[in-house]
Structure 1
């Protein structure tokens, strides 16, 4: 839509602009009708006002100039003048251009007013009144609008800048994190890889030793398979640390998935082969889990079985997977300890802690504690979908706090404000603080104009006494009285209220000097005004007349 420059309008915005134009047109036409206009003038005002209102966004400077030129001729243009001034202050690019536009509009406004009422007012008084009117209806709204717009533009730029800074900070921290992960991966590969390779080689050689019994060879085979599996998992973990991406679990040489709920059966089979009594049960309709949750379920079973091997060797173990409507429950219960473990039990002390953190990241929980029969119970509740982890930027540093709407509508984080900065930038808790502050400046300007107007009103009221008399005073003055005596009795008439009264009415006596004063009483019509005229010649009052004039 051409009138909507520079942005496109929605249907609601278009309807609002049309309603505003219609209201301004009706107000202008109604004001003109109250002042006595009729016919073609009303139609012109009612048509020109909505047109200028719609054009003010596309052509702010020309519309401001046209409105300033027509406002003195059409009294109904005052509301339109305020709306046009607001739009011009906001949309004219550059302070210099805005100053030129408002100066041209002011010159046209004053010039039209002077041409239209030159014979009725003194020029200085007219310029003063028109200046105050133009300041109140055009300059003050323009300044308030320009301030509000510049403040909003500055805030928008700050949002973009800080959004970019946060993205750059995240990139720098991500690179540092990636370098640290690569270092850890290299250390793990160099240390654990070598030890696992030695275990695998020695157990492989021991497995074919003819001096071992079949049972011993079977146990050594389990150890060799465990070392091979550990090497595969170490290789995968090292790849994740280096690349920073966790994919699907690889498939081992047996063809089964190494990690995930599908691999839990393999863990149980390995435990049974090692001589443990392990029972695996499934309840409910099997449903797929997200990759991270599937991995977490596998790790919960693996860690629980490992703890059972170390702390309760020979005790029966029950593994159960229950598929509930909204989550899967993984429960591992080991029986009471039968006999103490032989040899040293190595424990890092971080297994269960790591499980709780892994479950938390996918939106689940893990519980570990003694069972009722004296054994140990580990249970995890995991959702089928993965709940998004907390954002990288902490909540207290989230730039979105500064506004109920996301920064720029593109999902980027925004500035993290302190309370004092929020109050300064947004005017307290309200998102319209910038607008309120701009309106406060406009209000202060209006107060200054109001004070000037009040002073002007007091000046006008005080000057009325210098140009007005009662009819009784007029009757007491006698023709033939000395001029000095008469002037002492009458006001001086040197006031703006009597401007435009001279030269009207009956013809003045030749060679006389006349003093025209207003009457304190109203005339017979609102369009006429009763006046008293005193004419002097030769230092004497030679004539006094009472008549009505039209302003």
Structure 2
């Protein structure tokens, strides 16, 4: 295995459990460099010399990269290294946030934070040990760890759990949408099968009777030639109707056109082929034979249409002629077929009726069906009266079929109130499993949730989704904001109470380590230790921590008490202090000197 393969394998291990995109990788690299520079700067300000700031910067950058893969381990290590190495203070905040998000399980997270806190507190006390101020140091370090590590960890864990809950609700909603679509499809299929069976049993029987009787009547020798021609038209119409009924029944029952019998005759084949633009001539001829005045005109250079559009043109002309027969008997009818550059136009116009149409049987669904048929192939139908009392039906159809499903907005399958105020406002979900070759045997639809695909947008970032939800408003947003504000407010109150208590404690303890210069002058060398200590404060405060190591050498075998002076110096670089050294029950030395802050 070469070096590049090892580096690639190491990076894959580091990036798990979630693979980073290029943007995430660049962001993590920049963050690691920034954390390293901050660590080096803080360590240098804290007094680090030589290679120490560089080593701290490198360690902080490495731990920053490892915090996603090994969150608990990095949290414990950072908690142990922060007290002696001040450069890790900024890293501790970042690690606390990441640990709250990436440590799986509440028990494991509690254990990791507890272990990190124990190490942080222990190393802090050892590093700055002072028997007189041990309790104060422990309290301040605990407050610091709570503010910089525990609070970010809790906030991150809440944010992560809320994001997971939102994602789960969206997936469940998508599953409900799919299940409802399946149920609706099954109900629709059963209803279509029932309608198909009723049509086959009723209309099929009646049309078969018409065909048989007209066939027998056509060969009756007593009929005149004109009557025999009219009967032939009726028989052909009944045969054509039977074929169309068979196709409709097949589509209703199985969703596909019924297969054509292998032994069908040439007349049957011609009838099937004529149910397009070519069949409009037959419609006009049949109308003339029946006594209607129909004029057929063509214009433009003929161009082929897609099968669905071709059939739609035939149906528009057929329905328009039928309406003219029923509502305007005896009126002149003109049929015009125009091949325009971008679309095909079929137009049927009838003049005003010369008489009363009488009682007309109409279901009122003919024009509605034409509109829907044209829409499904990407066209449109216009129907309305014309000046002079006539009526016009015009269909505009494209030469190439445009699937309506790709253009129309599908109605939501659930109410907007039940749609988490997000998915109901998007376009329909798409099945990417079949588009990628899943085929009919695929395990199930793979939902494309991207904004461009029209889904709810699951490859949005969580912040974008919640921002969109917040803009739209609603009960879900209100509950989430209330919970988040409650947690943030509780954490803020806790920090304010702890901080106020800490400030009060520190200010109160200042009197234990400070005396006035007059009190220093009033105590003389040789005074009994018990008398001197009664007159002096105890010095048990954090304010005097470290002062004893900054002054002159203490007398051998003595115990010294170092106190601050209530007087101030001209500069902020030095601090005036007083030292009292006791031995054998007496004050053997007192000194006044300045120490550097």
TM over 0.5: yes
Partner Cα distance (1:381, 1:247) in 2: 28
After TM superposition, give the deviation of residue 301 of structure 1 in Å. 0.8
Give the match for residue 419 of structure 1: none
Structure 1 residue 515 displacement after superposition: 4.5
State the partner residue of 2:331: 315
Aligned counterpart, 1:69: 80
Q: Deviations over 1:332-370 (max 9, x none)?
A: 0113334566x9643333322332343445554433333
Moved more, 307-316 or 423-432: 423-432
- Determine the C-alpha separation between the residues in 2 that align with 1:66 and 1:520: 41
Corresponding residue for residue 94 of structure 2: 83
Q: Name which of 24, 38, 43 aligns with 2:35.
A: 24
Structure possessing the higher relative contact order (Cα contacts under 8 Å, 6 or more residues apart): 1
**Change beyond 3 A, Cα 1:429–1:340:** closer
Provide the rounded CA distance (Å) in 2 between the counterparts of 1:211 and 1:380.
44
Output one character per residue of 1:184-232: Cα deviation in whole Å (capped at 9) or x when no partner: 1111111111111121112112222222221221111111111111111
Cα distance in 2 for residues equivalent to 1:194 and 1:246: 20
1:387 maps to what in 2?
404
Counterpart-to-counterpart distance in 2, 1:309 and 1:541: 131
Instruction: Give the match for residue 149 of structure 1.
Output: 160
Give the distance between the partners of 2:327 and 2:137, measured in 1 at CA.
Answer: 102
Residue number in structure 1 paired with 2:119:
108
* 1:250-309 deviation line (CA, Å, top 9, x unaligned): 994326525333433332333234343333334445455555444433221111111222
Q: Distance in 2 between matches of 1:65 and 1:405?
A: 45
Q: Which runs of 5+ in 1 are unaligned?
A: 416-421
- Give the 3-state SS of the residue equivalent to 1:346 in structure 2: coil
1:450: Cα distance to partner? 3.5
- Give the alignment of 1:499-514 within 5 angstroms: 499-501=545-547, 505-508=552-555
**C-alpha RMSD of the superposition:** 3.8
Do residues 462 (structure 1) and 512 (structure 2) align? no
Contact preservation (8 Å) 1:203, 1:223: yes
Give 3-state SS (helix, strand or coil) of 2:591's partner.
Answer: strand
What is the distance in 1 between the residues matched to 2:577 and 2:173? 72
Please give the secondary structure, in 2, of the residue aligned with 1:532.
strand
Match of 2:181 in 1: 170
Matches within 5 A, 1:125-524: 125-245=136-256, 252-254=268-270, 256-289=272-305, 291-324=307-340, 326-338=342-354, 345-383=360-398, 384=400, 385-388=402-405, 389-391=408-410, 393-394=412-413, 396-397=415-416, 399=419, 401-402=421-422, 409-410=448-449, 426=469, 429=472, 438=484, 441-442=487-488, 444-478=490-524, 490-501=536-547, 505-508=552-555, 515-521=561-567
Count of residues paired in the alignment: 543
Tell me, yes or no, if structure 1 residue 15 matches structure 2 residue 41. no
Segments of 5+ residues of structure 2 without an aligned counterpart are: 1-10, 262-266, 430-446, 458-464
> Which TM-score applies when normalising by structure 1?
0.85
State the 1:473 CA deviation. 4.0
- Specify the SS of the correspondent of 1:39: coil
Range moving further from structure 2, 330-339 or 391-400: 391-400
**Aligned equivalents of 1:335, 1:193: Cα separation in 2:** 35
Q: d(CA) in 2 for partners of 1:179 and 1:286?
A: 42
Report if aligned partners of 2:554, 2:560 keep a CA contact under 8 Å in 1.
no
| TM-aligned CA deviation for residue 53 of structure 1 | 0.9
Distance 1:313 1:214, change over 3 A: farther
Q: Does the aligned pair in 1 maintain the 2:421–2:469 contact within 8 Å?
A: no
Kept in 2: contact 1:399–1:414 (CA 8 A): no
Which shows bigger deviation, 308-317 or 160-169? 308-317
1:201 is paired with a residue whose SS is helix
Structure 1 residue 469: Cα displacement: 2.4
Partner in structure 2 of residue 36 of structure 1 = 47
Q: Shift of the alpha carbon at 1:94?
A: 1.3
Displacement of 1:159 after TM fit? 1.7
SS in 2 for 1:466: helix
